[in-house]
Amino acid sequence: MTRRLSNTADGPKRSCTLVLAGGAPRSYSPGLRMSTQSPPGFPHRHLLGIEGLSPLDIVALLDRADEAVEISRQVEKKRTTLRGRTQINLFFEPSTRTQSSFELAGKRLGADVMNMSVASSSVKKGETLIDTAATLNAMRPDIIVVRHHQAGAVHLLARKVDCAVVNAGDGAHEHPTQALLDALTIRRNKGRIEGLQVAICGDVLHSRVARSNIILLMALGARVRVIGPSTLLPPGLQRFGVEVFTDMRKGLAGVDIVMMLRLQRERMNGSFVPSVKEYFRYFGLDGDKLSHARADALVMHPGPMNRGVEISSEVADGAQSLIREQVEMGVAVRMAVLEALATHLPNA
Ligand code: MLT
């Protein structure tokens, strides 16, 4: 099966044609929801990024995730989809919520889950990523979930192992399950993604969350703005088809969704903002800046939050915040992804 997503030079089209080998092209409408049918097969062995997924792949994962939300809200949450399978969570960067979310998702689907963090691994003793991949591969896992500080490391690992690989964040490159959980949260609250005006604000330069979200939201027909100080906006952003603002109040005018990003000081090499106080004054989301968005605008943050740096507590804990719900949707999306990849495992 081959799939082709046609793009224009200045950004993805709002609709696309999906060409399935041996069949007639199926047209895709960005507002499409497929929940009434059983989820179609997921045509990928790994989930390495949002880039490379078709809009239909994304919608199918969101539909599966909607079902996983229902399962997770029941008293009996356990399923058998991954019974007998081994899932290794290999984290080269510290993480609380993403790792525990993948762990819970795997366990709810019946997998045996092993968490391996860099502090306890041989990588600290000089083993290369490729050696680690070969060692883990010899243990015959079915799925490896990887987080690594270098962009591209997860793709490299995927080429060296026989099992399915999920990217749980690679450097400033991609964080596909974060973008999927954000899309699920938006769709459940607004009923759609197509046509919504979404502002992604703050440290876009160092953010894999921003990159994955821009690709996903544009593919599903949202209009995306990015807002931040010019030192934290990568050059050439307009090529993605987004609108760029360096003034929060102007950028937030009339938006439906305000997505805040963490100031990622661990990825900064040098000084990008004069001071945290100054940053909050101009780019931190407080009640005053939020009042420029639509009255029914909703606020998101991938976490972990720096309160008083990129967001005020008043907004983070306020009535317009979806931040806690994003955490719940994270488990559901990861269940959906693991389940979709499981369809390609031997003897599935
Ligand atoms: C990430 O891993 O990128 C997080 O979910 C967001 C962040 O670290 O700011």
The 3-class SS string of the chain reads CCCCCCEECCEECCCEEECCCCCCCEEECCCCCCCCCCCCCCCCCCECCCCCCCHHHHHHHHHHHHHHHHHHCCCCCCCCCCCCCEEEEEECCCCCHHHHHHHHHHHHCCCEEEEEEHHHCHHHHCCCHHHHHHHHHHCCCCEEEEEECCCCHHHHHHHHCCCEEEEEEECCCECHHHHHHHHHHHHHHHCCCCCCEEEEECCCCCCHHHHHHHHHHHHCCCEEEEECCHHHCCCCHHHHCCEEECCHHHHHCCCCEEEECCCCHHHCCCCCCCCHHHHHHHHCECHHHHCCCCCCCEEECCCCCCECCCECHHHHCCCCECHHHHHHHHHHHHHHHHHHHHCCCCCC
Query: Average pLDDT for residues 271-295, to the nearest whole number?
Result: 93
pLDDT at 36: 43
Indicate which atom in ligand 1 lies nearest the CA of residue 208: 3
Lowest-confidence segment of 171-175, 238-242, 323-327 by average pLDDT: 238-242
Q: Is 330 in the pocket of ligand 1 (CB under 6 A)?
A: no
Cα–Cα dist 347/342, whole Å: 10
Lowest mean pLDDT among 4-8, 93-97, 139-143, 146-150: 4-8
Mutate to test the pocket of ligand 1, among 174, 209, 212 (most ligand atoms within 8 A of CB): 209
Q: What are phi and psi of 66, to 5 degrees?
A: -60, -40
Answer whether 302 contacts ligand 1 (Cβ < 6 A).
yes
Residue nearest to atom 9 of ligand 1 (CA): 262
Among protein residues, the one with the nearest Cα to ligand 1's atom 5 is: 302
Lowest average pLDDT, out of 37-46, 58-67, 116-125, 184-193, goes to: 116-125
Whether ligand 1 lies within 6 angstroms of the CB of 169 is answered as yes
**208 in contact with ligand 1, CB cutoff 6 A:** yes
Minimum-distance ligand 1 atom for the alpha carbon of 168:
2
What is the number of the ligand 1 atom nearest to the C-alpha of 98?
5
Q: Is 175 in the pocket of ligand 1 (CB under 6 A)?
A: yes
- Is 0.85 topped by the overall pTM? yes
Atom of ligand 1 nearest to the CA of 178: 5
What's the pLDDT band for 41 if we cut at 50, 70, 90?
confident
Q: Hey, CA dihedral for 90, 93, 94, 100, is it positive or negative?
A: negative
Is a pLDDT exceeding 50 seen at residue 224? yes
- Percent of the chain topping pLDDT 90: 76
Q: Dihedral of the CA atoms 157, 115, 117, 135 (nearest 10)? A: -40
Tens-place pLDDT, residues 236-280? 998 989 999 999 999 999 999 999 999 987 766 667 887 889 999
